[in-house]
Amino acid sequence: MKGLAHALIVVTAGLTAWSMPADAHAQQAAAFRYADGSPHPVTPWGDPDLQGMWPIMHLFATNLQRNPQYGDRQQLTDDEWKRAEAVLQAREQNYQREIATGKMNMGHWAETTTRSAATRLTSLISYPANGRMPALTEKGKALVPLFKSDDTRTVFDSPDDFDAWDRCITRGLPSSMLPYNYNNGIQILQSPGYVVVNLEMVHEARVIPVDGRPPLAGAITQWMGESRGRWEGTTLVVETTNFNGRVHMIITGIPGKPAGDWPSSPNTKVTERFRRVSDSQIDYEMTIEDADILTDKWTVSYPMYQDPGYFWNEYACHEGNTAVRNFIEASRFERGLNPDGSPRQK
């Protein structure tokens, strides 16, 4: 009955918001404008409208961490940008070539499916000013051996020797909002009191309340943390806490990721800002803080572009997936053991 009562409250609140008088809608809509004075889209219940497909494959040619040669410079020159764009175009050509020949190889594994040009950013990290990851604290360094993955280990005996991404659980935050080799779709959906950030990779949906409810108690932790959103004008601000501290802060495969395993902790906090600056662009910013393991915060900034034609299929990570078992059995064979871990007879 408590669950039913809660559902009725949510539905009633949603209907109340949706049934706002027409003149109130008009007044609210008139208050939301882009910088050039043109009207910002508004939902039927009066929230700024961010909905659409906003894939981020165009970021693949931009490193997470800035190459030291750029110093504090945030923008590429024209010639540097042309080289970045050529990276995306070469991937796209390989992808289309495989379609034309009926062949499926790395051109489909490392897909592009982008119709947006490469960014002019020298890195996705905008703070610190040098565009590079802050150093780990002594506690952060001590946690590194506990964050295992198939990218940095050669001995495997159990699923615990793999990270959450290897095991198809989650990429976590902030990694889920960073580009990867494939499956870079991001879809934003809205309903009264909620914003949903739907992720193509690992088919995760981040359901974000924007109704002013308090955060969860600190004892309740989750793989992706728990998000709460609020509107600051037309900007959606999302604060995520309550992480379980079992997911790598950043995963291998993100272009320009610093080498090694990067730990997280239950005290990690991620603050995101989604600001729609035109009908076709959202300026996105994400700041990661964790004084336990990082000597400073770090911020990612990039543009997201609307692509109504972007489409994704179900992401079935574990369908026919025997990789974890194969890693364990191969590792045991290399150490003179049977697949079950018992000594192999000589």
Q: Which two tokens stand for residue 248?
A: 């790598």
Please answer whether residues 53 and 310 qualify as being in contact, where contact means their C-beta atoms are separated by less than 8 angstroms. Answer: yes
Residues of the chain with pLDDT under 50: 1-18
* Any domain includes 315: no
- What domain range includes position 258? 23-305
Q: Does residue 245 sit in helix, strand or coil? A: coil
Question: Residue 17: what pLDDT?
Answer: 46
Question: Is 10 among the domain residues?
Answer: no
Segment 163-201, tens digit of pLDDT: 998 888 999 999 999 999 888 999 999 999 999 999 999
Structure tokens at 199: 């992720």
296 within a domain of the structure (yes/no): yes
**Model pTM score:** 0.88
Asked whether residue 336 is domain-assigned, the answer is no
Residue 117 belongs to some domain of the structure: yes
Cα distance between residue 209 and residue 194, in whole Å: 4
User: How many domains does the structure of the chain reveal?
Assistant: 1
Residue 17 inside a domain? The answer is no
pLDDT score of 24: 55
* Domain-embedded: residue 311: no
Distance, CA of 249 to CA of 258 (rounded, Å): 11
**292 in a domain, yes or no?**
yes
Cis? peptide before 215, omega within 30° of 0? no
